[in-house]
Amino acid sequence: RVEASVPEAQREAWRKFSAKEFTTKDQFESEVVKHIETTLARSLFNCDEAAAYAGTALAFRDRLVIEWNRTQQRQTFADQKRVYYLSLEFLMGRALDNAMLNVQQKDVATAGLEDLGFRMEDIISQERDAALGNGGLGRLAACFLDSLATLNYPAWGYALRYRYGIFRQEIVDGYQVEVPDYWLDFNPWEFPRHDVTVDIQFYGEVRKYMDDAGKQISVWENGEVVTAVAYDAPIPGYGTKTTNNLRLWSSKASHGEFDFTKFNSGEYEASVADQQRAETISAVLYPNDSLDRGKELRLKQQYFWCAASLYDIVRRFKKSGKAWKDFSNQVAIQLNDTHPTLAIPELMRILIDQEGLEWDEAWSITQATFGYTNHTVLPEALEKWSVPLVQQLLPRHLQIIYDINLQFLQYVQRNFPKEREMLGRVSIIEESEPKRVRMAYLAVIGSHKVNGVAELHSDLIKTTIFRDFVKIYGPDKFTNVTNGITPRRWLHQANPRLSELIAAKLGGYDFLKDLNLLSKLEAFVDDKEFRKEFQEIKYANKVRLAKYTKDVHGISVNPNSLFDIQVKRMHEYKRQQLNIFGVIHRYLELKSMTPDQRKKVQPRVFFFGGKAAPGYWMAKMVIHLINQVGKVVNNDKEIGDVLKVVFLEDYNVSKAEMIVPASDISEHISTAGTEASGTSNMKFVLNGGLLIGTCDGANIEITREVGEDNIFLFGNLSEDVDDLRHQHFYGDYVLDPMLAAVFASIRSGTFGDAGQFSALVDSIVDHGDYYLVSDDFKSYVDTQKLIDETYKDQEVWLTKTITAVSRMGFFSSDRCIDEYAEMIWNVEPLPPQQNGA
Ligand code: F58
């Protein structure tokens, strides 16, 4: 290979002309104009907001690229352990605002754009969300990238470059309609690396033979090959030069555009079909947020991405010239849920079949390399791939999985000879028809650490789905890392005025890098001026959401009302149905009051938002019910402003940035023991809103931090859930009379044809109420009453919200990443040197 670097003698010229970052408004403007006039070939006579966005994004992109290149050089040179975060989802949202804030040049850009005739807000809103994820899991991965870069960890994210992200949601006549999200028309943040490609094999068969030394060799051959092409995106840290890399793989036919032999022999359509089949792999994000549907294309996506990423990681390691025993000292790979579990047998295949290592050595390297994060205990979400499908698509991997299983079961047999039933329980292969590979077990067995995402959840996995494994490996293999959120996006970017107010009180923006500094705010809880400003900011954020609600949905809401918000994926376990039944109950109560009585009621607006998986008809029914209730309530003259119901269409990251700062109360009301952590709960409190929630997920730790007086908890505890379900099964319970009245009103047609909602009502009344809506209803309604009462004293309310904000330091994703680094990855930060080298 020809040496790629420029000879020493010519480097002076390079250094003289190498790119420099802008620091002044004039320099920024000159960059923007240059990009608009040359890169985009537009002029001041046809520069709309879209072009101004493009010019601004390109100017910032240039800036990021300089530090990005330097960071990569620095990390290669230092050659220390790197983290690879494998996640099938990164829910990044918009990049421009984040980039401007992280490199601390938003003020310069705002002034520059104004000179050029544009308002910053309008420019920012030109950008489409990068919506490569479903919900919490994908957004967590995005927060982690921000923290990894901010804390200077050498880290890469690996994912797929979906052509279509999560669908756009439209509400038509109250029903959800899915519209494809083609987001790549203009994406200035990605860099195609046409020189970084990996050929990935599928199907085929395994041939075994003996080599000269009598060792058995396996060769996987005659498969179909698809090429992975790398697309890179820079991830800037906040207030540091470290700029990490997110690498997304795109699939294309291995022979280029189309097969010329087929093309020339007249099989034009067949050659194009091959090409399209290859491109299908990275075409679309699966929109299910909880159900494992076992589709072949999904398995292909998983293997394609794992194999390309591992090839890349191994290639980088081999360049360093180190011995294999050093692999896990150089490489930490985190599996974000079970989706990347195939990376385990793939690394084994590389080490054994390609690098010639013995099984035991390969296995100890593999185990030492991987860590696995579990995000759910819901049985329907646990991935299990049919053995015949894996056999056909990945024949060599299935053999390796069987070998891993054999070794593992022999170990269990030796150590627990008396517990014969345990073998069947812990086997990676489920003896069903067809047999299935239990990916979570493979992930546990192939990793050195397994973590849950909040304390309750980490305890639950140890007593339920992984109980036997705790016995087998001992408790130390299992740990907890409570989730966190990045304060850069979820405070500084989403709520700039609050961030500024906090900075004014704390003497600077250090809290954005060390969120525990927020505790110093508590000293200002009685400071009149501070309280006034804090309240004004909340009000202004509510006004902004009210304006949006009017402009987009045509619904007028009064910003002086209590804003109650539930935004998250639509799911029975998250219990949006409990919320809307509570709203109906409230409506019925209001209707039974005299006008004078009604005047005394605390006005409230209930906002809902969230997508339902396209095939999840019960979740879609709840969306429909919410919209029907809204239609009735919002048009009821008697009710007026006292109660409003809004369904915010197409909830996504950029809308969350507007919605979250506008809440007084937000709802996190899952059946206890079902929500692994939740992360929006943290965002809402950080922005001066209180929670109504169950004792579930991170709500419990939020309560511990902010204090019981500053959160509204209700409902049954997770340890009671089994008994309650049992009682339902035996019909041993009485339906709460208030809920019965709600059902009666639905059945009488108050919200349109009752037949449309009968399955929802029946699931509670006749089919066991699996999510325990009826058991928690009274407690929920009582707690909502308490909220109304408390809110009436605005001073008391304000004290609670300020106190809660000041106690949220723990929930920064920086804390979370430091915990992963120390307990799981054993990696050190690599800060940029002062001289910029
Ligand atoms: C979420 N999981 C958890 N899964 O539900 C939430 O409690 C937690 O806070 C969050 O992870 C981060 O740990 C989640 O979002 C998915 O969306 C998967 C997408 C792919 C299919 C299976 C579900």
| Residue nearest atom 4 in ligand 1 by C-alpha distance | 137
Question: What are the pLDDT digits (tens) for 331-367?
Answer: 999 999 999 999 999 999 999 999 999 999 999 999 9
Q: Is 675 in the pocket of ligand 1 (CB under 6 A)?
A: yes
In the three-class reduction of DSSP (H, G, I as helix; E, B as strand; rest coil), residue 155 is classed as strand
Q: Which of 94, 168, 375, 800 is catalytic?
A: 375
pLDDT band at 1 (very low <50, low <70, confident <90, very high): very low
418 is catalytic: no
- pLDDT for res 263: 66
**3-class DSSP string for 475-536:** HHHEEECCCCECHHHHHHHCCHHHHHHHHHHHCCCHHHCCHHHHHHHHHHCCCHHHHHHHHH
pTM: 0.97
User: Which residue intervals of 592-674 are DSSP H helices?
Assistant: 595-599, 617-634, 653-659
Q: Is 697 in the pocket of ligand 1 (CB under 6 A)?
A: yes
Q: What angle do CA 339, 234, 54 make, to 5 degrees?
A: 115
- pLDDT for res 2: 47
C-alpha 792/C-alpha 474 separation (Å) is: 52
Q: Are 90 and 136 in contact (CB under 8 A)?
A: no
Q: How far is the CA of 683 from the centre of ligand 1 (A)?
A: 16
Q: Which of 61, 168, 568, 644 is catalytic?
A: 568
Weakest-pLDDT range from 8-17, 160-169, 538-547, 642-651: 8-17
Q: Is 483 in the pocket of ligand 1 (CB under 6 A)?
A: yes
Q: How far is the CA of 703 from the centre of ligand 1 (A)?
A: 22
836, amino acid identity? G
Radius of gyration of the chain (CA): 28
Q: How far is the CA of 381 from the centre of ligand 1 (A)?
A: 9
Q: Is 482 in the pocket of ligand 1 (CB under 6 A)?
A: no
- pLDDT for res 260: 64
Q: Which residue's structure tokens are 């019910």?
A: 625
pLDDT band at 759 (very low <50, low <70, confident <90, very high): very high
Q: Is 87 in the pocket of ligand 1 (CB under 6 A)?
A: no
Q: What angle do CA 799, 804, 805 make, to 5 degrees?
A: 105
Q: How far is the CA of 12 from the centre of ligand 1 (A)?
A: 51
**For residue 368, how many other CB atoms are within 10 A of its CB?**
17
* Ligand 1 pocket: which of 374, 375, 456, 668 to mutate (most atoms within 8 A of CB): 375
Alpha-carbon torsion angle 354, 356, 360, 366, nearest 10: -30
- pLDDT for res 60: 97
Strands 604-609 and 130-132: unpaired
Q: Are 814 and 513 in contact (CB under 8 A)?
A: yes
Which two three-digit tokens encode residue 194?
């046409």
Which two three-digit tokens encode residue 313?
């990681």
User: Could you please report the per-residue DSSP string of 444-475?
Assistant: HHH-SEEEESSHHHHHHHHHTTTHHHHHHH-G
Residues 6+ apart with CB under 8 A from 771: 572, 573, 575, 577, 671, 674
Which whole number is the average pLDDT over 200-208?
97
**Of 565, 803, 573, which is closest to residue 702 (Cα–Cα)?**
803
**Of 544, 529, 532, which is closest to residue 495 (Cα–Cα)?**
544
Question: What are the pLDDT digits (tens) for 616-658?
Answer: 999 999 999 999 999 999 999 999 999 999 999 999 999 999 9
Ligand 1 nearest-atom number relative to CA 139: 12
Q: How far is the CA of 292 from the centre of ligand 1 (A)?
A: 12
Q: Is 375 in the pocket of ligand 1 (CB under 6 A)?
A: yes
C-alpha 580/C-alpha 764 separation (Å) is: 14
| Statement: residue 280 has pLDDT above 90 | yes
C-alpha 269/C-alpha 758 separation (Å) is: 49
Question: What are the pLDDT digits (tens) for 487-537?
Answer: 999 999 999 999 999 999 999 999 999 999 999 999 999 999 999 999 999
Question: What are the pLDDT digits (tens) for 293-309?
Answer: 889 999 999 999 999 99
Q: Is 696 in the pocket of ligand 1 (CB under 6 A)?
A: no
Q: Is 679 in the pocket of ligand 1 (CB under 6 A)?
A: yes
Q: Is 677 in the pocket of ligand 1 (CB under 6 A)?
A: yes
15, amino acid identity? R
| Residue nearest atom 11 in ligand 1 by C-alpha distance | 137
| Residue nearest atom 20 in ligand 1 by C-alpha distance | 289
**Of 391, 399, 411, which is closest to residue 216 (Cα–Cα)?**
399
Report the DSSP beta bridge partners of residue 221.
Answer: 205
683 is catalytic: yes
Q: In what order do the strands lie in the sheet with 436-438?
A: 384-386, 436-438, 429-430
**Of 31, 19, 7, which is closest to residue 69 (Cα–Cα)?**
19
Ligand 1 nearest-atom number relative to CA 457: 7
pLDDT band at 271 (very low <50, low <70, confident <90, very high): confident
Q: Which of 397, 569, 655, 800 is catalytic?
A: 569
568 is catalytic: yes
| Statement: residue 256 has pLDDT above 80 | no
Residues 6+ apart with CB under 8 A from 380: 290, 291, 292
Length of the chain measured in residues? 837
Ligand 1 nearest-atom number relative to CA 383: 22
| Domains, the chain, with CATH or none | 79-94+129-482 (3.40.50.2000), 562-805 (3.40.50.2000)
| Residue nearest atom 6 in ligand 1 by C-alpha distance | 678
| Statement: residue 3 has pLDDT above 70 | no
Q: Is 137 in the pocket of ligand 1 (CB under 6 A)?
A: yes
Q: How far is the CA of 680 from the centre of ligand 1 (A)?
A: 12
Q: What angle do CA 437, 442, 448 make, to 5 degrees?
A: 175
In the three-class reduction of DSSP (H, G, I as helix; E, B as strand; rest coil), residue 3 is classed as coil
Strands 191-202 and 224-236: antiparallel
- pLDDT for res 258: 56
Which whole number is the average pLDDT over 574-590?
98
pLDDT band at 588 (very low <50, low <70, confident <90, very high): very high
Q: How far is the CA of 136 from the centre of ligand 1 (A)?
A: 5
Q: How far is the CA of 822 from the centre of ligand 1 (A)?
A: 24
Q: How far is the CA of 287 from the centre of ligand 1 (A)?
A: 12
Q: Is 694 in the pocket of ligand 1 (CB under 6 A)?
A: no
Which whole number is the average pLDDT over 107-115?
98
C-alpha 532/C-alpha 371 separation (Å) is: 47
Q: Is 453 in the pocket of ligand 1 (CB under 6 A)?
A: yes
Q: Is 676 in the pocket of ligand 1 (CB under 6 A)?
A: yes
Which whole number is the average pLDDT over 174-188?
96
Q: Is 135 in the pocket of ligand 1 (CB under 6 A)?
A: yes
**Of 616, 593, 337, which is closest to residue 453 (Cα–Cα)?**
337
Question: What are the pLDDT digits (tens) for 684-739?
Answer: 999 999 999 999 999 999 999 999 999 999 999 999 999 999 999 998 888 999 99
Which two three-digit tokens encode residue 179?
């519209």
Q: Which of 574, 575, 604, 611 is catalytic?
A: 574
Q: Which of 366, 482, 549, 679 is catalytic?
A: 679
| Statement: residue 16 has pLDDT above 90 | no
Question: What are the pLDDT digits (tens) for 370-416?
Answer: 999 999 999 989 999 999 999 999 999 999 999 999 999 999 999 99
Residues 6+ apart with CB under 8 A from 56: 32, 96, 109, 113, 123
Q: What angle do CA 344, 347, 352 make, to 5 degrees?
A: 125
* Ligand 1 pocket: which of 288, 289, 457, 575 to mutate (most atoms within 8 A of CB): 289
C-alpha 435/C-alpha 275 separation (Å) is: 32
| Residue nearest atom 21 in ligand 1 by C-alpha distance | 289
CA atoms within 13 A on the CB side of 816: 27
The secondary element (H helix, E strand) that includes residue 721 is: helix 721-729
Which whole number is the average pLDDT over 1-29?
84
Q: Is there a cis peptide before residue 434, judged by omega within 30 degrees of 0?
A: yes
In the three-class reduction of DSSP (H, G, I as helix; E, B as strand; rest coil), residue 736 is classed as coil
390, amino acid identity? V
Q: Are 229 and 249 in contact (CB under 8 A)?
A: yes
| Residue nearest atom 12 in ligand 1 by C-alpha distance | 137
329, amino acid identity? N
- pLDDT for res 242: 98
Q: Is 143 in the pocket of ligand 1 (CB under 6 A)?
A: no
Q: Which residue's structure tokens are 């009710």?
A: 639
Number of H helices and E strands in the chain, helices first, is 34, 24
Q: How far is the CA of 135 from the centre of ligand 1 (A)?
A: 6
C-alpha 679/C-alpha 689 separation (Å) is: 14
- pLDDT for res 335: 98
Q: How far is the CA of 137 from the centre of ligand 1 (A)?
A: 4
| Residue nearest atom 19 in ligand 1 by C-alpha distance | 289
